[in-house]
Homo-oligomer: A and B are copies of this chain.
Amino acid sequence: MNTGDVTIAGVGNTPFTGGTDSTLVDLAAAAATDALSDADIDGDEVNSLHVGNMLAESTNRRAGLANALASALGLEAIRATRIENTSASGASAVHHGVESISSGRSETALVVGVEQMTSRGVAEVTDAISRLVHEREYEQGLTLPAFAGLAADAYLNRHGADRESLARVAVKNHRNAVENSIAQYRETVAVEDVLDSPLVASPLRLYDCCPMSNGAAALVLDSDCGDVAVTAVASATGTHAVAERRDPLEVESVRVAGKRAFDAAGCRPKSIDVACVHDAFTILEWLELEELGFYDNGTAWRATVDGETAVDGALPVNPGGGLKARGHPLGATGVAQLVELVWQLRGDVSPSRRVDGARRGLAVNVAGFGNNSVCTVLET
């Protein structure tokens, strides 16, 4: 599924925050306006609007988000839809936008990912998110942090990694976020900070987990005029019930989506210069890097310890801070990962977190605990 000629002509990203008075539509409109401005394109040149969002109707009590956003942006008589794929809603919206262009039905598509998670209480949003796992698992009280805790425990035991090495994922991603102006947490944390933070799901602690976030990110996709090419986008579901998977450390959807994306882009893990992976929990960064073929099974933890995934390492991972420190406004994340890659490929980031000479980037956006994944490859 090579995308033919689909390029990214402009990007926008609101600050990701832990609280805001802005509405869902305000946030989305701000990112979209910035992306259109960056692309130097007027709204009336846009053929379709693809909005990635998870919680509009539950947490935000807003239906018809795509129509409200089209109206706020003054996009008259545009084609507009919302795409929902839980925490991979953003990249799924990109997938649909890319397809719209490669089918010849849109010349220019606007993709906006947005989430406003703090408009209701924490219990309500937590419950809404918990319902994305298999129904039986939800009924048994199995939530995403629980799955991540079980996976972390299994990984550390099976592969002889120590708890400190896992903390180093958070330490790295927090460090990367310091100079990212849109990141939610721009402070460094030390290994001890992670290990001393409150326990969430053993062995994972608070600083192993992404936060609740608000924010939006946007891309202008175009059939030819952008400076970054989308050379692949591919999606795959995994076995829905985690309990039915062959191995709790496998994230089949990431493996399959990754393989499809590498095949479409005609490249291999070795030719990727920078990667944004879905580190909703520190352990996921390792599992995904292994499933994508960047590291052999059971060895990604050593790469973290050895600094290979740092900005100046062999494979910089999450140079924007990842979900961990940039924040994770669910539907916005998959788009924000691509915004970060575009900034890196343009060299348009501060030197402390710049991946020098990056020409090819990969992002993986994961729904739930590997229930569905979308992998995208960008090149300049």
In the complex, the answer to whether B68 meets A134 with C-beta atoms within 8 Å is: yes
Of residues A77, A85, A104, which shows the largest number of chain B Cβ atoms within 10 Å of its Cβ?
A77
Q: Shortest Cβ distance from A80 into chain B, in angstroms?
A: 5
In the complex, the answer to whether B1 meets A78 with C-beta atoms within 8 Å is: no
In the complex, the answer to whether A235 meets B131 with C-beta atoms within 8 Å is: no
A55 with B54, Cβ < 8 A, contacts A67-B237, A238-B77 known: no
In the complex, the answer to whether A62 meets B99 with C-beta atoms within 8 Å is: no
Q: Shortest Cβ distance from A109 into chain B, in angstroms?
A: 11
Q: Chain B residue with minimal CB distance to A255?
A: B77
B residues near A37, Cβ cutoff 8 Å = none
Looking at the complex, which one of B82, B236, B239 makes contact with A83 (CB distance below 8 Å)? B82
Looking at the complex, which one of B62, B66, B235, B241 makes contact with A85 (CB distance below 8 Å)? B66
B residues near A241, Cβ cutoff 8 Å = 71
Q: Is A57 an interface residue (CB 8 A)?
A: yes
Proximity string of chain A (234-251) to chain B, C-beta cutoff 8 Å, 1 when within and 0 when not: 111111110000000000
Q: Is A143 an interface residue (CB 8 A)?
A: no
Q: Is A81 an interface residue (CB 8 A)?
A: yes
Give the dominant DSSP class at A's interface.
mixed
Looking at the complex, which one of B80, B95, B104, B256 makes contact with A235 (CB distance below 8 Å)? B80
A64 with B252, Cβ < 8 A, contacts A84-B82, A235-B79 known: no
B residues near A240, Cβ cutoff 8 Å = 67-68, 70-71
A253 with B77, Cβ < 8 A, contacts A71-B237, A102-B103 known: yes
Which stretch from A110-118, A191-199, A338-346, A364-372 is at the chain B interface?
A: A364-372
In the bound assembly, the distance between CA atoms of A64 and B58 in angstroms comes to 13
Looking at the complex, which one of B54, B67, B131, B372 makes contact with A372 (CB distance below 8 Å)? B67
Proximity string of chain A (205-245) to chain B, C-beta cutoff 8 Å, 1 when within and 0 when not: 00000000000000000000000000000111111110000
Count of chain copies: 2
In the complex, the answer to whether A131 meets B61 with C-beta atoms within 8 Å is: yes
In the bound assembly, the distance between CA atoms of A293 and B112 in angstroms comes to 34
Q: Chain B residue with minimal CB distance to A105?
A: B1
Q: Is A92 an interface residue (CB 8 A)?
A: yes
Q: Is A21 an interface residue (CB 8 A)?
A: no
In the complex, the answer to whether B99 meets A236 with C-beta atoms within 8 Å is: no
In the complex, the answer to whether B68 meets A135 with C-beta atoms within 8 Å is: yes
Of the A-B pairs whose beta carbons lie under 8 Å apart in the complex, a sample of 29, sorted by A's number, is A25-B135, A54-B57, A57-B84, A57-B131, A62-B131, A63-B86, A64-B86, A64-B133, A66-B372, A67-B368, A68-B240, A70-B237, A71-B237, A71-B239, A71-B241, A75-B237, A77-B236, A78-B237, A79-B236, A80-B85, A81-B96, A81-B235, A82-B83, A84-B84, A96-B99, A99-B99, A99-B105, A100-B103, A102-B105
